[in-house]
Amino acid sequence: MRSCGALVTGLAFAVASGSAAQAPTFTRADTLRGSNTPERAWWDAAFYDLHVRVNPADSSIVGRNTITYRILRPAREMQIDLQQPLVVDSIVQDGAELSVRREGNVLFVRLLSVQRVGARKSVSVYYRGKPTVALRAPWDGGFVWARDSLGNDWIATANQGLGASVWWPNKDIYSDEPDSQRVAITVPDPIVNVSNGRLRGTRRNGDGTTTYEWFVTSPINNYNVAVNAGRYAHFSDVLQGEKGRLTLDYWPLEYNLDTARKQFQQTKPVLRCFETWFGPYPWYADGFKLVETPHLGMEHQSAIAYGNHYLNGYRGRDRSETGRGLEWDFIIVHEAAHEWWGNNVTMSDAADMWIHESFADYAEGLYTECQQGKRAGAEYIIGKRAGISNDRPIVGLYGLNYEGSGDMYNKGGNILHTIRQLVNDDGRWRRVLRGINSTFARQAVSGKQIEEYMSRNTRLDLSKVFDQYLRTTMVPVLEYRIEGSTLSYRWANVVPGFDMPVKVTLSPGTFRFIQPIESWLTSPIRLERPEDFRVDPNFYVLSRDILTPAPDSTAGASASR
Ligand SMILES: [Zn+2]
């Protein structure tokens, strides 16, 4: 999702934390946006047929979306989301114009035709206006009206969090994706529009504009549907992947063509690595694309927004501070990971956004491992602990479109890295990651479903691990003392019943598992000097020698800022 996980902690988060310090307050608008209301629950989106004309001259759009849906339950009123200040011209079903009751960003449409359960029907929403302008895309959301360095129009949309209804009418909830979608975008010549899926046709309209008709054959998150319009060049490549021939299409600005040809060579090894760990790329039919955008990036399905300035790292910086992250382009790696985590397996509620971001963050470490070796991958993930704030839980609030802490990135990656240590079997770990992608392919799921799948398939009861790390801000502390050849240990700062095993040095030079609980246990230990005792730094925990209350006796796995 937000490509930028990184910055979310800095930017968007600064906004959220002000209100998060006190209890956040929610309104009916939050419930209408974030929950499966009765006016949403009765219909299932089957196809969005979206047509939008984009006018950079006055930053306006005019368009229509014909929504084809399956009727699950009888109903007379339909909720369609369309954010202000966009206005509706008309809503039409079966040739009749329907009346609409507007409540803020929501349209409650009064249906005239009988909605027969099991049937499919369509309704067309005609609309226009000047959509919200994104000033800090991709962190705020809306339309980006930019110019390239030659002064050509360069337009993009980014609306994760804020919602796709900022520029087109739809059921703006994560849990309902259409089975397929047309995205037909009209832009003034000579700029070219690149959206999701494959280009089915271009039509010159004879009025100085051209319509680019893109089509996505797979279910797609509404926030992934995007306009990207500019003076693009185009080049292609092919990856022989797990499921055969995968087309790779690249759309850099014309004047960045040579630079892009070089930088985008990184794509193939990234996709190969992720296919190994996560299973086949999910969208062979729709292809893989990178499209240069004026904003940093976003995981727009089969048309990833790329704005990392052809630099390695995150805008040229390594977010792990280990140097490992300077060997690859953050936006290519992080956003490509979202094709599995977020686009293929989608959260059903924003509260569970860790399904997208924790796994995408973890994928950065896995790519580092594919490229530079297992130790380097671990170093990268451990290095990112410095970015953990433990300000509030990773899981947000349900039914309100309310995300949890930005810790869903750095901490989330470290939770998964810790679980991998518990599994202690890379073959099984890989089968679990691939299994999530095949079991929940093209589905919207809850965090609980992922947690239960992981417990079942790692053959470990991870419930307390998830409770601790996802739903509290406490970092487990291994309290210990060494007296002669006896190690005493217990968990502190943990949820009741927390019993996660952890590896420590019971003898010089090797890590072995112990199984601490909240009360003291003992184990034989063979160390020449008690100060040689270590906790395996791959575990995201703290440790404290209670006989030596030094100011900082944390193990290498410290969570210090
Ligand atoms: Zn992300």
Backbone angles phi, psi at 133, to 5 degrees: -90, 130
Q: How much is the pLDDT for 549? A: 61
What value does the mean pLDDT take over residues 380-405?
Answer: 97
pLDDT number for residue 24: 83
Cβ 322 vs Cβ 380: under 8 Å: yes
- Distance from residue 4's CA to the centre of ligand 1 (Å): 6
Give dist(CA 329, CA 316) in Å, integer.
8
Q: Does 290 score more than 50 pLDDT? A: yes
* pLDDT recorded at residue 556: 43
Q: How far is CA 477 from CA 267, 355, 492, 555, in A?
A: 40, 26, 5, 10
pLDDT (mean) for 163-179: 98
- List the structure tokens of 178: 């259409």
Please tell me the predicted confidence (pLDDT) of residue 550.
60
Distance of CA 223 from the midpoint of ligand 1 (Å): 13
Nearest CA-CA partner of 432 in 405, 407, 457, 460: 457
Q: How far is the CA of 360 from the centre of ligand 1 (A)?
A: 6
542: CA distance to ligand 1 center in Å?
27
16, 125, 117, 119: which is closest to 81 by C-alpha?
Answer: 125
Long-range CB contacts (within 8 A, 24+) of 265-269: 266/328, 266/329, 266/332, 266/333, 267/237, 267/239, 267/332, 267/336, 268/237, 268/239, 269/370, 269/371
**What per-residue confidence (pLDDT) applies to 187?**
98
- Distances in Å between the alpha carbon of 360 and those of 169, 294, 336, 356? 29, 22, 8, 6
> Which residues, listed in sequence order, are joined to residue 250 by a DSSP beta bridge?
235, 290
Residue 416 tokens, joined = 């998964």
Say yes or no to pLDDT of 195 above 80: yes
Strands (DSSP E) contained in 33-176 are 43-55, 60-71, 77-81, 87-93, 96-97, 100-103, 106-110, 120-129, 142-147, 153-158
CB-count exposure of residue 234 (10 Å: 0-12, 13-18, 19+): middle
Q: What is the Å distance from ligand 1's center to 299 Cα?
A: 7
Query: Per-residue pLDDT tens for 236-280?
Result: 999 999 999 999 999 999 999 999 999 999 999 999 999 999 999
Contact (Cβ atoms closer than 8 angstroms) between residue 451 and residue 436: no
* Span from the CA of 75 to the centroid of ligand 1 (angstroms): 37
* Cα–ligand 1 centroid distance for 417 (angstroms): 17
Confidence of residue 11 (pLDDT cuts 50, 70, 90): very low
CA of 338 to the centre of ligand 1 (A): 7
Question: How remote is the CA of residue 334 from the centroid of ligand 1, in Å?
Answer: 6
What local confidence, expressed as pLDDT, does residue 9 receive? 33
Average pLDDT, the chain: 94
Between 29 and 556, name the one with better pLDDT. Answer: 29
**Confidence label for 22 from pLDDT (cuts 50, 70 and 90):** low
Model confidence at 557: pLDDT above 70: no
CA of 489 to the centre of ligand 1 (A): 37
Q: How far is the CA of 259 from the centre of ligand 1 (A)?
A: 24
* pTM reported for the whole predicted model: 0.94
Tokens standing for residue 270: 């990234």
CA 358 – ligand 1 centroid, Å: 8
More confident of the two residues 4 and 427: 427
Q: What is the dihedral of CA 451, 452, 457, 460, to 10 degrees?
A: 80
**Which pLDDT band holds residue 548 (cuts at 50, 70, 90)?**
confident
462 Cβ neighbours under 8 A, 6+ residues apart: 419, 422, 451, 454, 455
CA of 332 to the centre of ligand 1 (A): 11
Q: Is the per-residue pLDDT at 23 higher than 70?
A: no
Question: Ligand 1 mean position to 359 CA, how many Å?
Answer: 9
CA-wise closest residue to 36 among 176, 178, 221: 176
Cα 138 to ligand 1 centroid, rounded to whole Å: 11
pLDDT, one tens digit per residue, over 118-159 is 999 999 999 999 999 999 999 999 999 999 999 999 999 999
The SS3 assignment for 146 reads strand
Q: What's the gap in Å between 17 CA and the centre of ligand 1?
A: 19
pLDDT for 14:
34
- The yes-or-no verdict on residue 365 having pLDDT over 90 is yes
Which pLDDT tens digit goes with each residue over 456-494?
999 999 999 999 999 999 999 999 999 999 999 999 999
DSSP three-state, residue 401: coil
Name the nearest CA neighbour of 342 among 230, 429, 223: 223
Q: How far does the centroid of ligand 1 lie from the alpha carbon of residue 364, in Å?
A: 11
The label of the residue with tokens 């999702």 reads 1
Specify the range with the lowest mean pLDDT, choosing from 4-13, 82-91, 301-310.
Answer: 4-13
Give the confidence band of 13 by pLDDT, cuts at 50, 70, 90. Answer: very low
Instruction: Work out the percent of the chain whose per-residue pLDDT is above 90.
Output: 93
pLDDT at 69: 98
The H-or-E segment that residue 15 falls in is: helix 12-21
E-strand stretches of 252-344: 288-292, 297-298, 304-306
